[in-house]
Chains A and B, each alone.
Chain A
Amino acid sequence: MTLDKIKKILNAKVIVGSDALNADIKMACGCDLMSDVLAFVKSDSLLLTGLTNPQVIRTVEMSDIKAVCFVRGKKPDKETVELAKSKNIPLLLTDFPLFEACGKLYKEGLAGCSEINE
């Protein structure tokens, strides 16, 4: 699923990486615990999270996650946005809560991280 389609499904705003909307996202993971993300996420996935601090971007960087969507209308601080920019990590913003955002994407056919073999 392209990032562009994800953006449309979640009615999301793109705050970093409006140029990367063609990126192919293979699966997604919804989580606020970065340690869990580090443990279970696979590369080329989308991270949906309510956490907005720079450690989210660090986690994404380390685990080769392709893009992040912040849920429940939460806006990341400037540091987080700047870090994402410097690492070329697209950031999306949706008003849907985590569960609903995940549900919508799953319904449209985006797989979960445990369903795809790397």
Chain B
Amino acid sequence: MNREITKVQELAYELTVEQAMTRDVVKVHSKNRMGELREILRINRISGTPVVDKDKLVGVVSIEDFIKCLADGEIDSFVGDKMTREVKTLYEDEPLIHAVNKFNKHGFGRFPVVERSSGKLVGVIAKGDIIKTLLKELEINYHEEEIHRYRASHIFRDIIADKTTLIFEYDIAGQDFKHAGESASGLKKSLARLGIPPQILRRIAIATYEAEMNIVIFTSGGRITAYIRPDEIRVKAVDSGPGIPDVKKAMQPGFSTAPPLVQELGFGAGMGLPNIKKCADKMNINSVAGKGTEIEVIIYTQGEK
């Protein structure tokens, strides 16, 4: 419950009044009689409407005004005499949250919406419009992710071949600490859409992230390639960096050659390669000092380990 409300709040800031308002505005003239108003409200099933004379918004009139007239026996009086003249309006380009706040503040049932540049009436917004728009938007957001997931998870079944492999490539910039982790993040999201179970996904993500951090920290750049098959995922991290002089030593937990800057980021504790190994079902390292490093991680998606 709580959770929904804040997603809604977020949307209320993103959407504008224009996106939620009703454009076909039922309007009345100030020279209409209150008796006519009743018919207009009844036919259109609304409880109030703006009063417009020659394109100009001059007031609003509601069913309450009509009931008052009925009680006072003034049903033949002009709308112009019974309407509210000091109209609170909204601009079409305001965020929806402004409308929500105004509804709370004034307790009105609806607000006329006017164009900021011309002052012309372009629509009306009622509380119901806001709720309807937000619900629709929530549904769209939800559906988009569902559709991604649905389409992607069918890929392997839809392709007819003896063996199918999907290949995802990610280019990693060296020393770019701002974007470090984006590749692992992208791979994780994509694999989730393919329907990889969470615990396996987590191992792939952690291994890829550590490999990506290594490329960012130690090299001038490299590439991560993921080979996805129905039964296994292979992640290959290749760089043309300085290479690891002593792989055995680098595999020991706690052994690190990272500079202090990297340690400030929370890395360089000598856990990178051991972490990758821990997550992998199989891991191969091929490193030549002065040439570069190639790390291959294999994770089975259907059992083992």
A35-47: contact bitstring with B at CB < 8 Å (1 yes, 0 no)?
1111100010000
Known: A58-B184, A62-B205, A62-B206. A39 touches B265 (CB 8 A): no
Chain B nearest Cβ from A45, distance in angstroms: 12
CB closest residue in chain B, given A55: B265
Q: With an 8 A cutoff between CB atoms, is A105 at the interface? A: no
Q: With an 8 A cutoff between CB atoms, is B7 at the interface? A: yes
B1-43: contact bitstring with A at CB < 8 Å (1 yes, 0 no)?
0111111000000000000000000000000000000000000
Whole-angstrom distance between the alpha carbons of A17 and B2 in the complex? 10
Contact across chains for B210 and A79 when beta carbons are under 8 A apart: no
Q: With an 8 A cutoff between CB atoms, is B111 at the interface? A: no
Contact across chains for A58 and B185 when beta carbons are under 8 A apart: yes
Most buried by B among A20, A35, A51, A63: A35
Contact across chains for A51 and B266 when beta carbons are under 8 A apart: yes
Known: A34-B267, A36-B271, A55-B181. A63 touches B5 (CB 8 A): no
Contact across chains for A35 and B178 when beta carbons are under 8 A apart: no
Whole-angstrom distance between the alpha carbons of A37 and B210 in the complex? 12
Chain B nearest Cβ from A38, distance in angstroms: 5
For B2, give its contact among A19, A34, A54 (CB under 8 Å): A19
Q: With an 8 A cutoff between CB atoms, is A24 at the interface? A: no
Contacts of B136 in A (CB 8 A): none
Chain A nearest Cβ from B67, distance in angstroms: 40
Contact across chains for A33 and B266 when beta carbons are under 8 A apart: yes
Contact across chains for A38 and B275 when beta carbons are under 8 A apart: yes
Most buried by B among A32, A34, A59: A34
Contact across chains for A63 and B205 when beta carbons are under 8 A apart: yes
Q: With an 8 A cutoff between CB atoms, is B272 at the interface? A: yes
Contact across chains for A62 and B271 when beta carbons are under 8 A apart: no
Most buried by A among B184, B206, B213, B278: B206
How would you classify the secondary structure of chain B's contact residues: helix, strand, loop or mixed? Answer: helix
B-side interface size class: 20 to 34
Q: With an 8 A cutoff between CB atoms, is A111 at the interface? A: no
Contact across chains for A39 and B274 when beta carbons are under 8 A apart: yes
Contacts of B278 in A (CB 8 A): 39
Contacts of A114 in B (CB 8 A): none
For B266, give its contact among A21, A34, A62, A64 (CB under 8 Å): A34
Contacts of A118 in B (CB 8 A): 199
Contacts of A95 in B (CB 8 A): none
Closest 6 CB pairs between A and B? A19-B6, A58-B181, A34-B266, A35-B271, A62-B205, A19-B3
How would you classify the secondary structure of chain A's contact residues: helix, strand, loop or mixed? Answer: helix
Q: With an 8 A cutoff between CB atoms, is A53 at the interface? A: yes
CB closest residue in chain A, given B1: A22
Q: With an 8 A cutoff between CB atoms, is B202 at the interface? A: yes
Sample of 13 A–B contacts (CB below 8 Å)? A19-B3, A22-B2, A34-B267, A35-B270, A38-B209, A38-B210, A43-B202, A53-B266, A55-B266, A58-B180, A61-B188, A62-B185, A79-B178
Q: With an 8 A cutoff between CB atoms, is B269 at the interface? A: yes
Known: A43-B198, A63-B206. A35 touches B266 (CB 8 A): yes
Contacts of B177 in A (CB 8 A): 55
Q: With an 8 A cutoff between CB atoms, is A18 at the interface? A: yes
Contacts of A67 in B (CB 8 A): none
CB closest residue in chain B, given A43: B202
B214-229: contact bitstring with A at CB < 8 Å (1 yes, 0 no)?
0000000000000000
Chain B nearest Cβ from A52, distance in angstroms: 10
CB closest residue in chain A, given B276: A38
Contacts of B5 in A (CB 8 A): 19
Contacts of B213 in A (CB 8 A): 55
Chain B nearest Cβ from A5, distance in angstroms: 15
